[in-house]
A and B are shown apart, each in its own frame.
Chain A
Amino acid sequence: MKDLRLLALKKSPWVFHVAAASCNNCDIEILDALTPRFDVERFGIVLVGSPRHADALLVTGVINRKSLPRVLKVYEETPKPCLVIAIGTCACDTHMFKNSYNVVGPFDKYLPVDVYIPGCPPKPEAIILGVVKALQKL
């Protein structure tokens, strides 16, 4: 029974896009990955509009004092089990904003991040590869 649930989860990960104050390049690359050219629906990946429907959160951007409570709220709103995927170098390790006054550190200090996809911005191919590898890990 548990295997069936896990298999179903692997075959249909619905993603929700959390843009936590990034420069928008990673967000544009995510939208590119969702276009018919790359056709992620082959793997059952669908972009959903509400965090209540999501199985994976695509988090982009460097986390700061303003965006941290919002991101944590979205994480709480998501039904478990859910994956957290950090997209872009900013989300992975704060990148060049490391010593900025309002940056409160990388995501994994606050959320259990499952996949890190570095790059500034990462290519759509890299994003898809990351998600597929994360699903194999489950």
Chain B
Amino acid sequence: MSNYLKFLLEFLIFPGLVFVAIIGLLLSWLDRKISARLQWRVGPPWYQCFADIIKLFGKETIIPQGRKLIFLLAPIVSAISVILISVLLYNANFYPQCSFLGDIILVIYLLALPPLMTILGASASKNPLSSVGASREMTLYFAYELPFVIVTILLIMKAHGSIRLFELINYQKTHGAYLYSISGVITFIIYLFTMQAKLGYVPFDIAEAEQEIMAGVYTEYSGFALAMFKLTKAMLLFVFPMFIITLVWGGINSISTLWKFAIIFILTVLVKNTNPRVRIDQALKFFWLGMTPLAILGLILGLYKL
């Protein structure tokens, strides 16, 4: 019984909903503020993202004709999956006995859920612009998932084929972080680009390209459903760098996690602000013809312990 209670508390409060939502919203404010300063303007006040979310929760939610249940469930499921990743990463880092066999595979599946739910929700709304956005999101997902999974296999292979998150962290504690090797650097680069694409940040914001297809996949969303999608993006902005640090940069264990996090975050925001949007075929070429051979090269280097 107390196990369930503990899980519920973790899910709702500490590494879960409340904590991740607050940190994520503050980070997305920081992202907007840095973007504003780069464009030589003042930018929004610190409570801006909280105001956005509270406002959206208070507004009317219009449900279009089409698959109403899927339309409403999609944003909730994507938010829940990000919260679960946060709980899993927290437990793997601080309570090794809670890390179970195959949780890294679970984390990869949970990371796949937000884009999948975006595609489902957009298709369920029966809006032509949403369906264009959904097809773009699907192509982008197939594009980045291939190198992402290949480099994750590389990490598992290096840790003697273990698929427990804790073993990966433990391996890095004894042998040094993965990042300080050639294949580790390749993994880090591919993770950064995957993060950019998964968050829908500028070089890869093809699915919600505002100038082309209105709001793309989110065109029909309003009120609390839109708030859930915004919240998912904000939470992913915190959870994905933590995922990268756990897997390739020695785990979350000391105060040094802060500057590691800051480096990943600032790199992401700078890439976002200094690049124009690519076309969908360019994104596919970038990931399949550029990043995938790089990932396979990393895999081969990893075989020779480089």
Contacts and interface: CB of A to CB of B under 8 A. Distances in A.
A80 B61 CA distance: 9
A48 B47 CA distance: 19
B221 A44 contact: no
B222 A8 contact: no
Contacts of A7: 51
A9 B40 CA distance: 26
Interface string A5-35: 1011101100000000000000000000000
A48 B51 contact: no
A50 B216 CA distance: 9
A50 B229 CA distance: 15
Contact of A52 (B42, B52, B226): B226
B214 interface: yes
B55 A55 contact: yes
Interface residues of B, number: 33
A138 interface: no
B219 interface: yes
A69 interface: no
Interface string A56-75: 00000000000000000000
Contacts of B57: 5
A53 B226 contact: yes
Interface string A31-42: 000001101011
A41 B219 contact: no
Nearest to A80: B60
Given A50-B214, A80-B60, A42 B222 contact: no
5 contacts: A5-B57, A41-B44, A48-B210, A49-B215, A53-B215
Given A44-B45, A53-B226, 5 more contacts: A12-B48, A42-B43, A44-B51, A79-B61, A81-B59
Interface of B: 32, 36, 39-45, 47-48, 50-52, 54-55, 57-62, 210, 214-216, 218-223, 226
